[in-house]
Structures are given as C-alpha cells and as structure tokens.
Amino acid sequence: MSVRASVDIQQRVEELVRDFRGGDPLLPMFVLHAEQPEDDVRADRILDDVHRIQLAHGARCAVLNPHDPQIPAEGAGEDDRVRAAALLRRIDSGREWEGTPGLGPTTAYRRYRFRRLRLVHALADAVRAADAEEATRDGVSDPVQRRRDLLDQLAAQHWRPRRVNRRDSVADRSRQAGAGMLAAVLAVLAAVLPLFEAPIALTVACGFLFLLAVLYLVPPGRTPMLLWLRRESRWFLTTTFLLPVTGQQAYEAGLLHPLRSWRAITHRAGDVADSLRAGGDAQLQLHVLALLEDLRDAHRRWSWDLRGFKRLRPPVLFLHRADAGDGGIALLQAISDVRTVRSELDPLLVVASVAARDVPALDRPRTTIRVTTGRTAPLNLSERVAHLHEEWEGALRARQSPSRSGTVPWALPIALTATDLERPAQPVRWCEHASARPSPARVVWSAGVLVVGLALVAGLLVARQLHLDATYCSTGPLTADRDSVLLPGAGEEKQCIGISTGAVSFGARLPKDRRGPVAGGVPWSVPQLEKQIAERNRKVLANSRGHYVTIVYAGPLSADATGSSSPVKGTEELAGLALAQAAVNEDNAPVKLRVLVANGGVDMDEQVRMARLIAAYAARDDTVVGVVGAGRDMKTSGKVAEILGGAGLPVVSGTNSATYLPKEYANWFSLAAPDEWQAQQLGLLVKQLRTEGKPQRALVLSRETKGTGDMYTGEQEKYGGRMLQDRGFTLVPEKPIRYELRDSGGAALRDAVSGFCLPGEVPDVIYFAGRVEDLGNLLRALSEDDDCHRHKIALVMGDDVSKAHFESEGIGRNVTIYHATLADLRDAAPGTEFYRDVARYLPGTGGTQVGYNSPFLASGQTALSHDATRALYEAASRRDRVHSRAATWVNLRDVELGAQATGTVNFKDAPVYGVRTGHAIALWRVRQDPGSGKTESVMLCGRTSGAAKELTVDACRIDKKR
C-alpha cells in the first residue's frame, strides 16, 4: 500500500464483498477526494492500491482514466455526457474486466458479455455514420430517408459496434458467431437425423434448408438472421426505460412471430436513434442502463448456469480523477440517476477519485440531510468511513425523494485528510480478504461436473438402450415396443415372445434355413404370411375405423438351432388365419377382420408370458375379441386359459386335443378331437389287430417329459394304454417305456428299441405317444434291429403325427402305421370354398392344383385354424355388427357355421365345463407298398365336423386298398 487510507477502503470493500456472497447489498459509489488540492495525486493512488489488491483476490475490475495520454480522447470537444458515453466504449468487452495477466489469479467462471451495451454502441455508431453521410448530400433532410440510411448502416455493421475492443473486425466476429451457431445446429441435425427413417430425415433436412433461406432473404431492413432471438434484442424491445425517451408504446414482438419482431426492432431502432440525436441525459442514461443490465444479467443467481452463485465478488469499476470536463462526473451522475429511476439493485461497485476543486460539481443538494447515529464522530478513517456509510444507507431513501434529494444520491463522498494520505508506517500490512471458499453452485454446477454429468447421463442412456435391446424385440432411440420381449431360447440364442403390434416379425428371427417354405412341400413361410397379414391390417386401420374386430393368433413361431423343434405347426396354423382374414376382407364384409400374431416360443414353452402380454394389450385395445391357437397341450395351457379368461378373451383352438381344458375353463372352445375320444376311435383299428385266444404283446412308448411341461404325451400315454388293455392286449411292460432327448436335439430311441426288441418278446402293437419329430429315429431303429425287423409291428399314433411327411421317413416293410388326424378333408371338400380361397390368397400356390389331397394341407392344421378363425369372427360380427369381447364369448355358444374346410363348426351343443360332441376325425393306415416299395397312405374312415354318425369297425376296415 502506498497510502494509509488504502487499507481502510480495502477493508470496507471486502466487507461489502462478504455481504455480496449472501445477498444483494447496497453498493455505493465510493468517491474519494482530498481535503486539500495538493493531495489530489495521493488520493488517486488509493484506486491503484485497491485495484491491485482486488485483482489479487480474484475480482473483476475495469479501469477508466480519462486523462491517460495513451488512450485517445473520444468525443473531445463535445458535451460532457457524450464524452461520458464514449468512456463506456473502453469497458464493453469482457477482456477489459479480466485485469492484467500475472497480477492475480484467473477470475472465476466465464468472461462478461456486454450484449446490450454493444447494441447501444452499435446504434450510436450507426447514427453518427448516417448523419455524416446525410451531411454530404444536398437538400432538405427526409425522415424516411434518414431512417433508411440508419438501417442500411446497421446492416453494414451487422448490428454490432464499428470497432470491437479496437482489435477485432466486426464482420469477422459476426461471421464467426453465425458460423458457430450454424455449425452447432448442423451437428445436432447430423446426430439426430440418422435415428429416423430416410424419408423423414430428408424432409427435415430440406425443411431446415428452406428455413435458412427464408431467414436470410425475408428479414426487413436487412437485419441479421435470427436477430429477434438475441437476448439483447428482447431487452431492447421490452425495457420500459426507453418509453419516456421515445414517447412510444411497447412494440409487438414474440418468439413465434419473427417478421413482427424484425419490424418492431427496426422501428424501435429508429426511435432510439432520434433520441440519441436529441442529446441530453437520455443518451448517456441509455448507455449506463445497458451496462448495468448486462452486469445484473451476468450475476443473476437463478439462471440456467447459476452464474450468480459462481461469481462471488461484485465487479469493481475504478474511475480515476473524474471531473466535469472529461465526463467522469457526468458518468457518476448517470449511474446514480439510472439506479434511482429504475429502483433496482445492480452488482456494480464504483470506486472513483475526484479532485478537491470538482467535489462541489458532484453533488449540490437543495436540502442538507443529516442522519445521526447517536454516537460521537469517530476519529480514525476506518471508523469514519463506516460511520459515513451507515449515514448514507439511512439517508438513501429520503434523498431519492424528488423534493429533498440531491443530484447524486448513490455517491458516497469520502474526504481524506493529509494524515490519511500519508505512507503507511509499516511496509507490510495484512489486508482484509473475504472468504475465497467456492460456493456449492460453482462446485456442483460447473463445466467439469457438466462433463461428468453428461458422461454419466450418456452412460445411463447407453445402458438403458442396451437394456432395451436385450429385453425387447423392437427398439428405437430410448423407446421399445413392450408388447413383445426377448427370452432365453435353446443354446445362446434368444427368442421373441409376445404379440406383434408394430414392426416385430417373428419369422425374421427364425434360423436362416427355416425362414423360407418349410419341409414337406408347404409353399409359404412365416415371413410371407406376416407380411400379408400386416398389409391387410394397414388397409383395415386406414379404411374401416370402428368397423373391425381383432383376433390374435397364439402359436409356436420359434425354432431352435438343434432341429428338435419345427416351425411347421405354427406356419400351417398361421396360414389358416391369413386365409380367413383375406376371405373375409376381400369379400366386402361390413365388419373387417384384423389379425395380430403372437408367439409362445419353441414348443410353446413361454406361452404364459405370451398370454400375459396378450391380456395387457387387450386391456388397451377394445377391438380384440378373442384368441385362436394355443394348439399345443402343455402343463401351462390351463394357466393360459385362466389368464386370457381373466381378460375376457375366449380361446378357440383348432388343434389342441386336451380333454381336460373344456371341462375346466368356460372360455375354452376346441375343434380338435379330445385325446380320450381319439384313443377310442383308434381302438376300432386296434381291435382288428387282435387275434382271439392268442396272447399278444403291446407297449406304450413315449418321450420323457420331465422338465418340459408337455401334457399331450402324458394324455396319450394314459388313454392309449387304457385303450390297448380294453382291446385285450397285454402291456409288457405295464408302465410306458420312455426315451430321452439328447443335448443335440435328437431322440435316443435305439436304446429304448433294443430294450423291448428281444427274441420272443417283440410287441405286436406299439402305441407311440411321442412327438412327430422323433418318428424318423423310431422307424429307423425298428427297421435296423434284428429281432424287430423280422416281426410285423403295428405302430399306433395320435394326431400329432399328422404333421409328418411319410415319403421322407423311410417306413420299413415290417412296420404299419395307424394314426388319427383331426379332420376329414376329403368328405368335407365338395361343400366348401376353402381350397378356392387357398389358391387365391395364400402365397406360393398360384398355378398349382389345390385340393384336399394337397400335401401341404393334408395335416388339417391349416383347415382347423381357418375354421376356428371363421367361427370366432362369426361370433364377433353377428348380424353384421361389431360385438364386444364379452358378447363374442356369449355368441360363440350359438355359432353353427357350415361349408367350412372341416365340415360344420357347431358350438350350440357345447356344454359349459364339458366336452362337446361332433368332432371331425380321420383314421389312416401308412405302410410300404409290397409291389413298388413306395410309401402308401390310405384313409380308412373318417367323419366331418358336426356329423352325427359314429365310426364303426365295419366302416374302418384295415384291409382297405387305396
């Protein structure tokens, strides 16, 4: 410190800084002056001392010295208010507030930005340039032309001051800012647009380019693009300080009205230019107002970046040797006037020095106001400054009253005696320093934390996206189709389970070698059928709002890589629904049919999860009236019926032959012949294999179902074994022989066959309760075993074998297969349009002869699924009206639908909690033709759905020829 008083002034400043950290204290303008004129130079040194200390403490400081010979005197020879406005040009950049490098630590947070002050400077520069150009022209001044010249000049300046910090080019700075903004927008678009489909991305890009062209060409008055969005423009249009100056009302402007805002900005610029030309206090006060507004905005606490909590020290403006001639006193008066008029607190702390002779010019109060604290006058300067400060704060409100105030109520003059201006007695003295501890906002809300936060958010978003990708079948950016989920399948593969309501394709997730037409000559594939159904669904939603019903197909549409399961069943059943939908919608029915596809996984292992997802979707979509499918009898089939029944959905199954389901669940309707009744009908054939008086062996062979959830095999075991005993065969062994599946997916049947193919113990009849996938291994084992190869064996099977294609199975001469199918397509064919519709609507059948004997229809799965769909649709659209799912459930028990692929579908006699009658069935014999060696398949007998006749032994003679 070069002056003793510097320590006391610094102490008072630090006390204000301490108060500033916790609130908004009243910040005076400290006006220092010596009592004697010869001490003016030493009084001015106090500013240098305090400035140096404030820089060391990290404060933002700006210095104005009108008498510095290195700085050109702008506005020389003009009014002091013009010169005062020119002084502010030296501090309209954030660089001027950073201090001298090396004198102190870097100030906290970012630089100041004086947008409003630079806009006012730009207007002043444009007024000056336009008036100079007008002076060169002859003739009378034209107000319209003058305003046009002003706007042209502003456009040439890009609405920026003519000189920025005396170093940078205005055009370059403007171009850099515009290029930066444009680059940021383009970067955002480049990151976001690839997330959308190509047509949407192209449309957005073209729209953005069109918007840029409009913003560049349309603005009136050659204003810069996006001018109306700038912060300083909004202040320029909305500040009430300008209204008394211009005499105008508030201009209309808005964020969504760019043309109106552009026009308002240009009009206000013209009005403000007129007030600037008029001179007086208004032009200087406008400059000061802009400065204070910029500082207030820079220290706003509740801003998006909490900058007011990070800038803990007020900005300090040091004004050296202010006098009436250089504009310094006019600047102090203008700051006080703006504060008084606006009645708002700003963060600017002013420390000025005034020559002793110019003190009277600063404040000439009409009435002397004295505020007494009740204490005696202090002696030392520190106490005296504190005493004067308290008096100033107490008198401020009264001095703002027009009748009693002076000219500069915000100034705090401090007279310094010769003793105060002596050099300090001690060369080193500790100075007061407010706490430098960073605020929590600076620590929590900072660039580093922002980077860490963004990285954390990005990591969470990526983790969220990975979770969605691993959980759901169809996902987008942080979104997912939650109607279908990914669950573990065989091996490391996952299978998609649930209902497809959007872009999910179950066929696309099948192994590549099974996405095409399946084995056995089936000409269509799951992806083809899904595509056909989706296209018809789009037409229904587009053209038939409120006049359609939705049926859900629930079936096995997955296949594991081991080959132990096949998508044949799901493919054939799905074809039945696609065919029924096409026939209904193309026939111009008043009520259209929408079909949704649901997948229960490999062998329907995940059908409970599928049922829950169907029920959840049905709760959101009232058009869903029922479910078709669930055609595999599993331990969870009852749970599926219960879940769907709880959602009010009836289930019409074409191929599930469970005996117990219609007995236990009122919402279960089935077209398939029950396992118990099937076994009784197969007994008509087994009875003919029995030779009375001769002991004959039989056994039941089935797959091990432990841990699989398979119920079909268990029911076939029970009813098949009971039927063999009823027909007089001796079961050896009494319990079923069970074989297991290898890890590779194949059936381990050789060990089972070698166990019962013993000399003298070869069975005459084998009831095979296994799955069709295992039939090939069994036939090979029976043909290759020495003992069984020499013995005639009858292999009796249930309806699951109807999916087999015997031409490729290699039936030995010693084996004759007797099996049941769930439909007698031959007898029902003359009375139905089913085969005509197949040729018309199903893919891959064009140009081929389609009939009941077509290999891809022989199993009856497509026919049964078609008829189940037509029956459910009939109940939901009775009398050509759309019915609710509850009404559909009731209407199902009144359905009698003739001329179907399997005959007449009749639920009228179906008892609640009981098994109905009238099922379709066909009994077949398959063997190797002794003459040609080819596989011969003959339907021995059968009956269509709804037929009243019962099958008899005479009608089902096993010695029938082709």
| Token pair belonging to 138 | 């002859």
Q: What integer pLDDT is reported at residue 352 of this predicted model? A: 96
Average pLDDT over residues 738-753: 81
Contacts of 67 (CB under 8 A, 6+ apart): 320, 321, 326
Report whether pLDDT(751) > 90.
Answer: no
Residue 429 class from Cβ within 10 Å (0-12 exposed, 13-18 middle, 19+ buried)? exposed
Say how far apart CA 723 and CA 794 lie, in whole Å. Answer: 15
Half-sphere exposure of 686 (CA within 13 A, CB side): 31
Residue 93 is given by DSSP the state S
Q: What integer pLDDT is reported at residue 668 of this predicted model? A: 96
Q: What integer pLDDT is reported at residue 174 of this predicted model? A: 46
Average pLDDT over residues 469-488: 91
Contacts of 745 (CB under 8 A, 6+ apart): 490, 560, 562, 563, 564, 565
Q: What integer pLDDT is reported at residue 172 of this predicted model? A: 46
Which range, of 32-36, 420-424, 799-803, averages the lowest pLDDT?
A: 799-803
Which range, of 16-20, 154-158, 182-186, 823-827, averages the lowest pLDDT?
A: 182-186
| 162-181 as b/e: b if 16+ CB within 10 A | eebeeeeebeeebeeeeeee
Contacts of 616 (CB under 8 A, 6+ apart): 483
Q: Which of 826, 823, 806 is nearest to 815 (CA)?
A: 806
Q: What integer pLDDT is reported at residue 46 of this predicted model? A: 94
Report whether pLDDT(962) > 70.
Answer: no
Is 244 or 151 the better-scoring residue by pLDDT? 151
Per-residue model confidence as pLDDT tens digits over 481-504: 999 999 987 665 789 999 999 889
Amino acid letter at 74? Answer: E
Q: What integer pLDDT is reported at residue 367 of this predicted model? A: 42
User: Residue 186: pLDDT band by 50, 70, 90 thresholds?
Assistant: confident
Q: What integer pLDDT is reported at residue 376 of this predicted model? A: 60
Average pLDDT over residues 69-86: 66
Average pLDDT over residues 449-474: 91
For 33, other C-beta atoms within 10 Å of its C-beta total 23
Say how far apart CA 537 and CA 544 lie, in whole Å. Answer: 10
Per-residue model confidence as pLDDT tens digits over 520-530: 567 888 999 99
Half-sphere exposure of 433 (CA within 13 A, CB side): 14
Per-residue model confidence as pLDDT tens digits over 196-247: 777 787 888 888 777 766 655 555 445 565 676 777 888 887 776 665 444 4
Per-residue model confidence as pLDDT tens digits over 269-284: 888 888 788 766 778 8
Average pLDDT over residues 28-44: 93
* Average pLDDT score, the chain: 84
Residue with tokens 């005993």: 725
Which of 10-24, 177-191, 750-764, 886-900: highest mean pLDDT?
A: 886-900
Report whether pLDDT(402) > 70.
Answer: no
Q: What integer pLDDT is reported at residue 255 of this predicted model? A: 61
Q: What integer pLDDT is reported at residue 244 of this predicted model? A: 46
User: Residue 933: pLDDT band by 50, 70, 90 thresholds?
Assistant: confident
Is 870 or 397 the better-scoring residue by pLDDT? 870
Cis before 347? omega within 30: no
Is 175 or 495 the better-scoring residue by pLDDT? 495
Average pLDDT over residues 353-358: 91
Report whether pLDDT(879) > 80.
Answer: yes
Report whether pLDDT(372) > 60.
Answer: no
Say how far apart CA 686 and CA 682 lie, in whole Å. Answer: 6
- Strand, coil or helix: 711: coil
User: Residue 144: pLDDT band by 50, 70, 90 thresholds?
Assistant: confident
Per-residue model confidence as pLDDT tens digits over 819-876: 999 999 999 999 999 999 999 999 888 767 889 988 889 889 999 999 999 999 999 9
Report whether pLDDT(175) > 50.
Answer: no
